[in-house]
């Protein structure tokens, strides 16, 4: 066989290998796609079964949407709200709080109608979880300690642990490095980084008791965007802290999970919800505008991915909040397999505990 023929055959073999590899990736991605679908927000699978989950900030769009979603799935949700002032007696006296109260009340009425047979179109036998609101400021040690006490008091008899802590507290200030005020850098690191570490430390005993999981927000697709230097520095710090935390508390049975909110603008993720009535319109009840407020700051598939992170027997260390079936999901799965194997090998060599 001459050199030219060998070269052509090599090129053809490489091309065929690439096609076969692409087809395999596609098929594997299809297999990994979720099999069940959701018809409405009231079509619950009761998957929460009363598991206790803390969401650190429900006064943001993302946190509030997540709290309502997990409650509908049957979780017991501890919903944190940052108090506006020193008076923490009414943490729901804010726009997000009013939305939460109105939507929970509306859902309660609907579920009662189902029980009495007056409402059609909602799955029979579906149940909702419960929501316990509490004051929580991740930048304050006293607030975190009091939040731990509130959680302990509201756990069912015989329980002393949390299934998960989802740290949705965060701030994002956009600005080019040479023009941005350094006070905004301080705030982003104080909330996004130090607040994450304080939260992990405060709730670790409750997570350890339940062998639960800690979910933190890492980097996202904004890392190449101008004006995101300081914010991305903070989020990369969180991702690095998660890696170290995984080594420290993994042997205790606590899973540390990084959520990568790709294709969701960071400033939108942490923005506070605002209810605006169309000019000239009237509502029959004051709460109507809160009940009808659209909270879908992130797509439904993001909620499903977080469900997987919460309920999987062996959760991955990183979840990209992107549409299912994408090649990125499979690439992440391959990385996870090698990372987890390396972690197991390292753990066999010794432990901090």
CATH of the domain at 56: 3.40.50.720
Is position 29 within any domain?
A: no
On whether residue 105 sits in a domain, the answer given is yes
Q: Within a domain: residue 326? A: yes
Bridge partner list, 164: 53, 213
- Tokens 């799955």 belong to 123
pLDDT at 225: 77
pLDDT confidence band for 152 (50 / 70 / 90): very high
The secondary structure of residue 211, as a DSSP letter, is T
Task: Supply the pLDDT for residue 40.
Answer: 34
| 151 inside domain | yes
**80 found inside a domain:** yes
End-to-end CA distance of the chain: 63
Average pLDDT of the chain, as a whole number:
80
Is residue 271 included in any domain, yes or no?
yes
Nearest CA to 152 among 206, 71, 76, 90? 206
Percent of the chain scored above 70 by pLDDT?
A: 73
**Overall number of domains in the chain:** 1
Domain range for 71? 39-345
- For residue 151, which of 83, 217, 233, 207 has the smallest C-alpha distance? 207
Q: Within a domain: residue 14?
A: no
Query: 146 lies in a domain?
Result: yes
Q: Would you tell me the crossing angle of helices 195-210 and 141-154 to the nearest 10 degrees?
A: 20
Q: How confident is the model at residue 64 (pLDDT cuts 50, 70, 90)?
A: very high
pLDDT digits (tens, 9 = 90+) for 70-101: 999 999 999 999 987 666 667 778 888 888 88
Quick one: pLDDT at residue 29?
Answer: 55
What is the pLDDT averaged over residues 233-261? Answer: 95
- Strand ranges (DSSP E) for 38-196? 52-55, 76-81, 130-135, 164-167
């Amino acid at each position: 066989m001459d050199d030219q023929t060998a070269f052509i055959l090599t090129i053809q073999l490489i091309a065929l290998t690439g096609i076969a590899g692409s087809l395999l990736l596609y098929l594997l991605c299809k297999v990994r796609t979720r099999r069940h679908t959701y018809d409405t927000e009231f079509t619950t699978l009761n998957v929460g079964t009363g598991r206790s989950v803390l969401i650190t900030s429900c006064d943001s769009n993302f946190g509030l949407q997540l709290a309502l979603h997990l409650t509908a799935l049957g979780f017991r949700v501890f919903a944190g709200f940052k108090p506006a002032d020193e008076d923490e007696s009414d943490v729901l006296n804010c726009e997000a709080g009013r939305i939460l109260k109105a939507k929970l009340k509306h859902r309660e009425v609907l579920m009662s109608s189902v029980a009495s047979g007056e409402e059609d179109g909602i799955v029979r036998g579906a149940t909702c979880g419960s929501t316990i609101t509490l004051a929580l400021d991740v930048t304050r040690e006293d607030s975190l300690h009091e939040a731990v006490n509130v959680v302990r008091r509201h756990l069912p008899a015989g329980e002393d642990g949390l299934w998960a802590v989802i740290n949705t507290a965060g701030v994002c200030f956009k600005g080019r490095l040479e023009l941005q005020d350094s006070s905004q850098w301080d705030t982003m690191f104080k909330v996004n980084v130090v607040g994450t570490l304080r939260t992990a430390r405060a709730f670790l005993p409750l997570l350890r008791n339940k062998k639960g999981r800690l979910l933190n927000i890492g980097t996202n697709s904004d890392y190449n965007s101008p004006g995101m230097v300081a914010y991305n520095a903070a989020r990369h710090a969180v991702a690095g802290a998660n890696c170290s935390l995984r080594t420290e508390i993994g042997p205790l049975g606590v899973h540390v999970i990084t959520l990568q909110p790709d294709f969701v603008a960071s400033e939108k993720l942490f923005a506070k919800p605002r209810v605006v009535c169309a000019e000239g319109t009237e509502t029959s009840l004051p709460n109507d505008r809160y009940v009808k407020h659209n909270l879908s700051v992130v797509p439904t598939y993001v909620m499903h991915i977080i469900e997987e992170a919460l309920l999987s027997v062996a959760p991955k260390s990183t979840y990209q909040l992107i549409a299912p079936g994408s090649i990125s999901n499979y690439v992440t799965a391959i990385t996870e397999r090698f990372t987890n194997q390396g972690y197991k090998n390292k753990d066999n060599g010794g432990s901090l505990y």
